[in-house]
Amino acid sequence: MSATKGQFFKKTASIRNDKATATDSLSKSIVAAETIAREKKTEALRALRLQQEAMEEPKAVKPAKEKKKAVRRTRV
């Protein structure tokens, strides 16, 4: 049986990789939580707006003012 490199030198995860992975997963979870909170808030505000619009009386449409025709003056 011959000695191999794998027997003497085991691969270990570097501390930098562990920290980077932890930071990455934590940041992704924070962003996901913020997204969920924003969507819930948007839904609640939309429901309130629709409820308020349903309770309001429709506004009367004002007739548009008629525009005066421009009078062309000719030069003499």
Q: Residue 17: its pLDDT value, please?
A: 84
Q: Residue 15: its pLDDT value, please?
A: 77
Q: Over the chain (76 residues), what is each successive 10-residue block's mean pLDDT?
A: 69 78 95 98 97 84 78 76
The whole-angstrom separation of Cα 49 and Cα 74 is 56
Q: Residue 29: its pLDDT value, please?
A: 97
Q: Residue 13: its pLDDT value, please?
A: 64
Q: Residue 10: its pLDDT value, please?
A: 67
Q: Residue 1: its pLDDT value, please?
A: 55
Instruction: Scan for tokens 């996901």, then name that residue.
Output: 32
- The DSSP annotation for 3-62 comes to --HHHHS-----HHHHHHHHHHHHHHHHHHHHHHHHHHHHHHHHHHHHHHHHHSPPPPPP
